[in-house]
Amino acid sequence: MKLNKRVIVFILISITVYLIFSCESQLEFYGIADFARVSKIDSHVHINADNTAFIEQARQDNFKLLTINVDYPDFPTVERQQQISAEYSREYPDILVYASTFLMAEWDEDDWQEKTITYIDNTFKDGAKAVKVWKNIGMDFRNSEGQLVMIDDPQFDPIFGHLIEKNIPLIGHLGEPKNCWLPIEEMTVNNDKEYFKNHPQYHMYLHPEMPSYEDQMAARDRMLDKNQKLKFIGAHMASLEWSVDELGKFLDKYPNAVVDIAARSGQIQNQSSQDREKVRHFFIKYQDRILYATDMTQTPEADQTVFKTEVHEKWLTDWKYFITNSTLTVPELNEPFKGLNLPRKVIDKLYRINAVKTFSNAWSTE
C-alpha cells in the first residue's frame, strides 16, 4: 500500500511533535542520576568538630553548606563554634559559610545591647552571613527577676533594628514543633518522640506553667510586626511544620520571610502521606520562599566515615522524595509515602536559588 505525500508529511510531523514533547517532559524533571551533577545548598547544618568530614562529603555530593552557631548547652561553647566556623569558612569559601549568634548571659547589664551589636559586627568582619536566635529565648532564659524573656521583648528592638540597617538576615528557631506540647505517644514523627524523651526540659507537655505553643507563635509574630523590613528565616518551617496551610498563611502575612525545612522533612512527609497533592501544591506555590536544609550535626566524637555515610544517605533520600513519585520509607515515619515529583525549576529554587538570594555574597563561586 502506497502512502501519499500528505500522509507521510503528517506522520513525520506527528513523530517530531511527539519526540519534542517527550524530550521537554524529560527535561522538566530531574532524575536520581542528576543528584551529583546539580549544585545544591544545605542551608542549616552544624559543624562542631575540628575536622573536614562534612566539607568533604559536601564536595563529593555537590553541596554547599551554611553552618549555624547556637547558644545550646549540648554544643561546644559559642566561642568554640565561632572559631571552627570562621576558620573553615576562610579555608573553604566555595563550600562553607556560617551564621553567628549572640549570648544572653549579660542581658540585665546596662551595656548588653551595645556589646551585642559590637559582637555581631565583629562576627561579620570574620565572615558571618547571618545571625541565629534560638529557642532559649522564650523557653528557657529568664531575666534577673525570674521572668521568661520572649522574642518580642523591647530590649531586642535595637538589635533587630541594627540587623535591618545592615541588611543582615535573622534565622529564628522560635518555639518548637507542635508535638512539643503533646504526650510522647501522640507525637506524629519518631524523631520528635526521641528528642523530647531525651530532653524533657524542652518537652512543654511536662511544663504546663510555661508559655503555650500559641504564645510562642504570637511572640514571634509580634516581633515581626515591629520589624517588618527584617530579613527573616523561619528555621524548622517557622515551627509551623504541622500544617502547610498555616505555613502558607504565615508566608502570605510576612513577605520578607522565608523558611527552611531543617529537621522537619518527616513532618512534611507525614502530611504528604495524608494529602500528597496539597503538600505538592504548597511547594509549587511557595517555591520562592523555602530553603532546603537538614539540621545535620557533626559532633566532635562522631566517627568521620560513619558520619559522611549518614549525611550522604540523608541528602539522597530527600532528593528522591522531592524529585520522584516513588514510594519511600524513612526512620521518622512508620508508614511509606510517595515522593512529590516537583518540577526542576522548583527543585533549583528549593536547593540553591533561594539560599543564594537570602544569604547575599555567600559561597564564593555563586
Q: What SS3 string covers 258-281?
A: EEECCCCHHHHHHHHHHCHHHHHH
- Residues 155, 103 share a domain: yes
Report d(CA 89, CA 181) in Å as an integer.
37
Whether 89 is in a domain gets the answer yes
What angle is formed at CA 127 by the lines to CA 122 and CA 131, rounded to 5 degrees? 70
- Residues 62, 196 share a domain: yes
- Residues 3, 147 share a domain: no
- Residues 239, 94 share a domain: yes
CB 35 within 8 A of CB 319: yes
Residues 240-289 pLDDT 10s: 999 999 999 999 999 999 999 999 999 999 999 999 999 999 999 999 99
Whether 363 is in a domain gets the answer no
Report d(CA 158, CA 137) in Å as an integer.
16
**Higher confidence at residue 1 or residue 343?**
343
Report the CATH number that the domain containing residue 259 is assigned in CATH: 3.20.20.140
Whether 185 is in a domain gets the answer yes
Sign of CA dihedral 284, 276, 318, 299: positive
- Residues 60, 92 share a domain: yes
Residues 310-327 pLDDT 10s: 999 999 999 999 999 999
- Residues 300, 191 share a domain: yes
Report d(CA 35, CA 342) in Å as an integer.
14
Residue with cell 525570674: 146
Whether 200 is in a domain gets the answer yes
What is residue 21's predicted lDDT score, i.e. its pLDDT?
A: 44
- Percent of the chain exceeding pLDDT 70 equals 92
Q: With 60 as the cut, is the pLDDT of residue 366 above it?
A: no
- Residues 287, 203 share a domain: yes
- Residues 184, 114 share a domain: yes
Whether 366 is in a domain gets the answer no
Looking at the 3D structure of the chain, how many domains does it have? 2
Angle between helices 157-166 and 112-125 (to 10 degrees): 30
Residues 23-58 pLDDT 10s: 444 579 999 999 999 999 999 999 999 999 999 999
- Residues 7, 92 share a domain: no
Whether 365 is in a domain gets the answer no
Coil vs helix vs strand at 220: helix
**Higher confidence at residue 173 or residue 363?**
173
Distance of CA 41 to the CA centre of its chain: 10
Q: With 70 as the cut, is the pLDDT of residue 4 above it?
A: no
Average predicted confidence (pLDDT) for the chain? 94
Whether 276 is in a domain gets the answer yes
CB 286 within 8 A of CB 301: no
Residues 49-66 pLDDT 10s: 999 999 999 999 999 999
- Residues 87, 22 share a domain: no
- Residues 269, 248 share a domain: yes
What is residue 17's predicted lDDT score, i.e. its pLDDT?
A: 45
- Residues 237, 88 share a domain: yes
Of the CA atoms within 13 Å of residue 108, those in its CB half-sphere come to 8
Coil vs helix vs strand at 40: strand
What is residue 275's predicted lDDT score, i.e. its pLDDT?
A: 98
Whether 20 is in a domain gets the answer yes
What is residue 361's predicted lDDT score, i.e. its pLDDT?
A: 86
- Percent of the chain exceeding pLDDT 90 equals 91
Q: With 50 as the cut, is the pLDDT of residue 20 above it?
A: no
Domain extent, residue 10, equals: 1-30
